[in-house]
Amino acid sequence: MKVLVPVKRVLDYNIKARPKADASGVELAGLKMSMNPFDEIAMEAAIRFKEGGQASEVIAVSCGPQANQETLRTALALGADRAVLVETEVELQPLAVAKLLKALVAREQPGLVICGKQAIDDDANQTGQMLSALLGWSQATFASRIELGEGTALVTREIDGGLETLSIRLPAVVSTDLRLNEPRYATLPNIMKAKKKPLETLTPESLGVDIAPRLTLLKVAEPPARQGGIKVDDVAQLLDKLKNEAKVI
């Protein structure tokens, strides 16, 4: 069974996102970009299936500009067998990515797509769900455990206040949560080997997919600065302030 892992190139999670001066988006110029952390977890899950003999091939896919090749090389260094870049300069929204992934699924025929539960830049949490709907496949989101069976998978999901275990039929789309695994680091020899692994470049046009944005981004702004708090001396003072200043009791 082939496993497809979509990986997104995002602003590194250690870098504080700031709006561009004209509020038209998030400033990315000159800043470190990395693989979306949830996609590293997805890649790790796929590689473990390959190592365990449950997957035959792991294919990493990224949609976006040419610079995404760097993210795909990281995926190859982590253990993906080959990579596909769907190259475009158009700003991609989740529906467009889901349509591109659907076209790649038709080409590659994987038995499982493991994606991140959300990209930490747009926080959309939509692509996996849209993909499974477009394909008519089973889906299990926020996975903290995936156990593959014969044509089925048991997926434990992180839900409010607990865990839920689903049995789903394959093929399926599963999205990863933080506790699924701890991704490995790429070793230097594997980074060198990754340079020789196949990385194919396609375009949305060659896949026959319309990626025109459906939503218009109006502006990106910092949240209002929080006012500093104060320390009260005792409970009596707290009650007095809540009653007479905040007027909430």
Taking CB atoms, the residue at the shortest distance from ligand AMP is 116
Figure out which of the listed residues 8, 50, 99, 102 binds ligand AMP, where binding follows CB under 6 A.
8
Residue 36 binds ligand AMP (CB under 6 A): yes
Q: Please report how close the Cβ of residue 217 comes to ligand AMP at its closest, in angstroms.
A: 14
Tokens standing for 42?
Answer: 């997805």
Taking CB under 6 A as the binding criterion, the range among 31-39, 134-142, 203-211, 216-224 that sits at the site for ligand AMP is: 31-39
Q: What's the closest the beta carbon of residue 56 comes to ligand AMP, in angstroms?
A: 21
According to the binding rule CB under 6 A, does residue 127 interact with ligand AMP? yes
* Minimum gap (Å) between residue 176 Cβ and ligand AMP: 8
Comparing CB distances to ligand AMP, the nearer of 127 and 132 is 127
Residue of the chain from 54, 69, 125, 190 that contacts ligand AMP (CB under 6 A) = 125
Q: Which of residues 80-99 bind ligand AMP (CB under 6 A)?
A: 92, 94, 97
Stretch that binds ligand AMP, among 12-20, 116-124, 135-143, 163-171 (CB under 6 A): 116-124
Which of positions 58-77 make contact with ligand AMP (CB under 6 A)? 61-64
Helices marked H in the chain: 37-51, 68-78, 94-108, 127-135, 188-194, 235-244
Angle at which helix 37-51 crosses helix 68-78, to 10 degrees, equals 30
Other Cβ atoms within 10 Å of 27 Cβ, number: 15
Token pair of 75 as six digits: 């995926």
- Compute the residue count for the chain: 249
Q: Binders of ligand AMP among 96-115, rule CB under 6 A?
A: 97, 115
Site for ligand AMP contains 124 (CB under 6 A): yes
Specify whether the CB–CB gap between 16 and 156 falls below 8 A: no
Spell out a b/e string for 161-181, using b for 16 or more CB atoms within 10 Å of the CB, else e: eeeeebebebbbbbbbbeebb
Q: Are 154 and 141 in contact (CB under 8 A)?
A: no
List Cα–Cα distances, 49 to 2, 97, 103, 116, in angstroms: 10, 25, 24, 16
Give the integer Cα–Cα distance in Å for 63 and 191: 21
Among 74, 118, 132, 144, binds ligand AMP (CB under 6 A): 118
When asked if residue 126 is in the footprint of ligand AMP (CB under 6 A), the reply is: yes
Contact with ligand AMP (CB under 6 A) among 59, 84, 119, 168: 119
**Per-residue DSSP letter, 178:** G
Contact residues: ligand AMP, CB under 6 A: 6-8, 36, 38-39, 61-64, 92, 94, 97, 115-116, 118-119, 122, 124-128
